[in-house]
Structure 1
């Protein structure tokens, strides 16, 4: 069959083909896409490996490698219909066998994928069936409304059924418009266009428009990326910090497009370790933050204040709750009631590449003194933070946007079938009542 038209294409008159896009972005070590810990892990492979669905800039999720999906009235049987005629880069046709292989990888506890948390309590591999070459049926253990969104969770890149376990080996075929030519940790990733891609551009010719993309790692210091952008060595920066935004926003050569998302920095503690087992100590830390001052000094008042819950205004489940007020007197009282020795020494792990996070904790260090805390920053490169982010006792973790709160919360705040925290539950907090209500919400249409 002829290639499918791209789901969202620009006006044909404005299209320019050719060239290599150079992106400033860190290049961490990776192996299995299901174990990606951060978005930049996936970004360097998105032109090689694709997803069954895609969430657009409008926060709506649509079919991608899927042609469509069907669901029964009770939201517990989902039928996935694959696009026909898609060829992988090795010439094999994309079929249900590939989808079934990926579900097996995602749902195996040994893979240690965050995807497992999204399906926890709803799906086991025995209930994933290939009906025919282009149809896959999911029989769930309960109603779940966010199946399309779950399929675009960034570690859910679709691999060929022969995947060898090493994403960077240059030997794994993909459905994407490009092939992987080079991968060097801490240096660069190169991808280039391939023949036979399944989508056409707005000009009627096969995608991609570009000849290739080069992802260039310039280290942990964002000033290097800003200098490279202004000097023409790179064309764009992945995830610029607030400092970079301030340096670039008034430059006539730089186009800034503001977009409200659910991306957030989460200061969290391990509730399975002392002294954080005691909720009074946790509440004291909350009351020790002067959020307005943090917002002004660390974020230059760009964005919005968080309300100490992990759902954002752009997500449909959002309900406004006022953030706790700065109250060092009450915080100190809570520490006294908890019986901890003051000042309570606390080490907080932060990635220095996130300059806003560093400024945040430096501000907290000062405001928390009157509460009875002695806070020290445990600084490290961002790549080192990602090596330990689920293990460190206290840390500040950037969490990226997800279209639905009911997709986000199971990643971070529930346990598995054995009662153990799911892979991305970095705080180890599990509450039976919360988990029950969350599961009910996951199957409730408004």
Structure 2
């Protein structure tokens, strides 16, 4: 099983499906990469250029970034993207999922997977060292995975991997080979190893607080950290990627939650780049789109402001009422007014065009007349009073709510808008009868579907299932899709899942949002990521005027 460069038999099937037109090039690359096909081999098949170092890159200089700077003591527990931005420059992941949802080895040299997708051999790169000089080995990988799965640590990775992997399923073969024995087939394991909380820790020095021993394999080291104020990173000259990084220093500055403060700092040249991972990008886009000194680089994401309804409470237990309100979403109007016309139209299911599982469907039309008919059919001939709760300080969400309030009146909905502090909405988001919740980007549609329709072993709604919507057919198909190895069969199952959620579900998703990298034009080789992650090891600055 450990024979070098063994090709998984399913890759031949994928190639045949691609050649016959059943799989796109992107779909082939994505699934072939998950099955362990090297990027160089895949690139050769399509005669693609393999990205290398930036041509003409200049070494030195300091990159200044404005955003938030909360402290994350235990990276394994981290769910905050702003908190992980600093850590991401210091500690690293076993894999890397790019903006096209193709996953590559990173600290891994490669992986080899058994035919039944239950045994994963993780081959580590050699000659990698932590910034305290200690070697990266299999012991660090095993220690980190055990941290993810520990019952004493509140890690998202426990939910992501805990249903198919236990500590007893982790085996060290030698200093640079770890084998995982899963309890069920799992095609997406490499993508799951790229979760924000899946950073690899130094097993010799980590004792629960990363800032006390900030030892990672990344291109920078922490020189000084002041929570909610400033963090200074300095270049490692012994980094394992030859010739990298280009920057000498990176300075993160906490300018608070007000996006306008960051925008002002960027326009004035006080900072070179702003981090928008904690807020919507629409305000920044509006303020910066006409500035000739600024570059806005977009990427389509699965981020969305989700209209969600509690189906265990009236009137949302009636699908006719849910469908009526969803028909009152003027999708294009919401996209233009709330998101500057950027992004893509949604169809009320948690899979977007950027996801590999996406099935294209005809856009649901704005139809207040049909909505009014459904309300009457449900017994609300005189219309219906409903209360919509949203978080304060979210202009895009407020605009979406006001558009819906105005347009739904034509169908007989009288929407009473209630705004609450952001922290209160987040804490109580599962308790509101009707609300609009911002959802982050997930690289896989299956992850979002599992969260949105999550049920426990008894069939009860899971903690992330804020609508309390449970559909037996949906849950069964989702389990079946997870255990289906044939790519085309999986795709057909996801098409059914999306149709069920679109027609019977309890969410309205009028549009998907873009994310942006907002930087001064002197910043070179910065790439946007749909998760808003910042990767700065290949970034450099043009000398001269800021």
TM-score, normalization by structure 1: 0.85
> Residue 221 of structure 1: CA displacement?
2.5
**C-alpha distance in 1 between matches for 2:127 and 2:473:** 47
| Structure 1 segment 150-189 matched on structure 2, within 5 A | 150-161=192-203, 162-167=205-210, 169-189=211-231
Q: Which deviations, in whole Å up to 9, do the C-alpha atoms of 1:189-214 show, x marking residues without a partner?
A: 3322235322222xxxxx32222222
- Mapped pair 1:266 → 2:306: yes
> Residue 113 of structure 1: CA displacement?
3.1
**C-alpha distance in 1 between matches for 2:466 and 2:225:** 29
SS at match of 2:201: coil
| Structure 1 segment 7-406 matched on structure 2, within 5 A | 8-12=51-55, 14-28=56-70, 30-119=72-161, 121-161=163-203, 162-167=205-210, 169-201=211-243, 207-239=244-276, 241-271=281-311, 276-331=316-371, 343-350=384-391, 352=393, 354-370=394-410, 371-381=412-422, 394-406=434-446
Change (3 A) 1:270 1:222: same
**C-alpha distance in 1 between matches for 2:196 and 2:129:** 22
**C-alpha distance in 2 between matches for 1:131 and 1:417:** 34
> Residue 315 of structure 1: CA displacement?
1.9
**C-alpha distance in 2 between matches for 1:43 and 1:142:** 33
Indicate the RMSD between aligned Cα atoms, in angstroms. 3.0
**C-alpha distance in 2 between matches for 1:120 and 1:269:** 29
Shifted more, 388-397 versus 24-33: the winner is: 388-397
Q: Is the 8 A contact 1:146 1:406 kept in 2?
A: no
Q: Is the 8 A contact 1:146 1:407 kept in 2?
A: no
**C-alpha distance in 1 between matches for 2:377 and 2:227:** 49
**C-alpha distance in 2 between matches for 1:263 and 1:173:** 32
> Residue 80 of structure 1: CA displacement?
0.8
Change (3 A) 1:155 1:284: farther
> Residue 67 of structure 1: CA displacement?
0.8
Report the counterpart of residue 3 of structure 1 in structure 2: none
**C-alpha distance in 1 between matches for 2:377 and 2:146:** 49
Q: Which deviations, in whole Å up to 9, do the C-alpha atoms of 1:80-127 show, x marking residues without a partner?
A: 111122211233222222222222232345534333333354223322
> Residue 274 of structure 1: CA displacement?
5.6
**C-alpha distance in 1 between matches for 2:83 and 2:248:** 22
Q: Is the 8 A contact 1:269 1:395 kept in 2?
A: yes
Q: Is the 8 A contact 1:271 1:427 kept in 2?
A: yes
SS at match of 1:73: coil
Q: Is the 8 A contact 2:126 2:176 kept in 1?
A: yes
> Residue 330 of structure 1: CA displacement?
4.7
- Structure 2 gaps of 5+ residues are 1-49, 488-546
Q: Is the 8 A contact 1:112 1:423 kept in 2?
A: no
> Residue 31 of structure 1: CA displacement?
3.8
SS at match of 1:22: strand
Q: Which deviations, in whole Å up to 9, do the C-alpha atoms of 1:210-247 show, x marking residues without a partner?
A: 22222222223222221111101111122362232122
SS at match of 2:147: helix
Q: Which deviations, in whole Å up to 9, do the C-alpha atoms of 1:357-416 show, x marking residues without a partner?
A: 2211222232233432423142435x6665555666544343344443234433443235
SS at match of 2:239: coil
SS at match of 2:135: coil
Shifted more, 313-322 versus 120-129: the winner is: 120-129
**C-alpha distance in 1 between matches for 2:255 and 2:172:** 44
Q: Is the 8 A contact 1:113 1:423 kept in 2?
A: no
> Residue 181 of structure 1: CA displacement?
3.7
Count of residues paired in the alignment: 431
Q: Which deviations, in whole Å up to 9, do the C-alpha atoms of 1:34-75 show, x marking residues without a partner?
A: 333343332221101111100123431100011110001111
